[in-house]
Amino acid sequence: MDKLVIDGGISLNGEIRIAGAKNSALPILAATLLTDDTVTIRNLPHLYDITTMLELLGCMGVEPVVDEKMNVEVNTSTIRDFNAPYDLVKTMRASILVLGPLLAHHGKADVALPGGCAIGSRPVNLHITALEKMGADIRVEDGYIKAKMEGRLKGAHIFMDVSTVTGTENVLMAATLADGQTIIENAAREPEVVDLAECLIAMGAEIRGHGTDTIIVEGKEKLHGCSHAVMPDRIETGTYLIAAAATRGRIKLKDTRPDILEAVLSKLEEAGADIRVGEDWIELDMHGKRPRAVSLRTAPYPAFPTDMQAQFTAMNAVASGSGSITETVFENRFMHVHEMIRMGASMEVQGNTVLVTGVPELKGAPVMATDLRASASLIIAALVAKNQTVVDRIYHIDRGYECIEEKMQLLGARIRRLPG
């Protein structure tokens, strides 16, 4: 397995461009299953999870055409198999997103129960219950969700027990081809859900309320092709901003969107960062100063994102003062804490909260990544540590960060990849 070797103690400085959002690109790729026309998706990030989703379409008989700029043309009219096999689904939970589109357009889908990150249970029963309310016949057997439908799905009033992003996206996609009106209440409000809705609207869907907790969809008999650019990745943006703040650096990020990062930017300002923004850029300058510790609590958008929690934990490790970080979205999401303690961090987990008292410096050590965002936090810890840190099991990071070592090198980091 590949490792990252990082020599710490350098302040990040420079500018980079932000990639397209993985969590937007994956549902949009699944949405291509809703039409027989060609859909062109631009600004796809160059990531392992994207490759997996393209492979998943490929094993169904679809042949996506990708150019050198990671723009992809997808025409699903050649589909011959409606099965999402375990071999692909186990590596990526987002594979469940093909369930709604396959069922709505083709009347059948066999999707393996998902795998993915080890950060707690993310139940698929919400997806199943909602699609059953729309008239689907669904059984779970032999490790597969086996769904079928005679004729069109029926519009329905769906209340989500828990605000779930992939659950909202699956129902939203299915509803675009349903007979009648679908109302999704307690819908996820994340910008990635809005981006998917905008793509569906470009395909001819009639949707309103996206970005609020009530989405209304008027079903259509068919959708058509379109061209859509994936929004910038807010989590990648936040990760580089926090890395710069932790290392007392100064960076400019281009091709991003400050308007969807307000919770993160306000916490960075609280930590002492000087932040300037434009329509599609963000600049952060610590003026060489040590960050101040911040306290935060994760919650669904527009509150503080769970996917930024680990990175702030790393910044707090070397900040002045103490901060508490409370995780309310996923259980099991403090596995990075034990690795940081090996590097000399002063942290204590109490239930779903980690208490962090900043220390003057961390020390390099061999550490192991346990999930995608934990990997990013360990890289930030390594950047501020004295001496050398080796981060093992970095295949997690390749699922969510495009060319992370190259981008870090552009900012002055001493980081290199060692093949496994």
Sorted by sequence, the CB contacts under 8 Å of residue 419 that are 6+ apart come out as: 2
Backbone angles phi, psi at 66, to 5 degrees: -110, 130
Q: Which two tokens stand for residue 89?
A: 């689904």
Contact 213, 189 (CB under 8 A): yes
Q: How far is CA 172 from CA 15, 122, 134, 263, in A?
A: 37, 18, 12, 26
Q: How far is CA 24 from CA 45, 88, 116, 188, in A?
A: 10, 19, 17, 13
Q: Which of 144, 119, 47, 128 is nearest to 397 (CA)?
A: 47
At 105, the amino acid letter reads H
Residue with tokens 């870090």: 408
Active site residue 59: no
Catalytic residue among 59, 117, 199, 226: 117
Q: Which two tokens stand for residue 381?
A: 């810890």
CA 4/CA 177 separation, integer angstroms? 46
Contact 26, 400 (CB under 8 A): no
Active site residues: 117
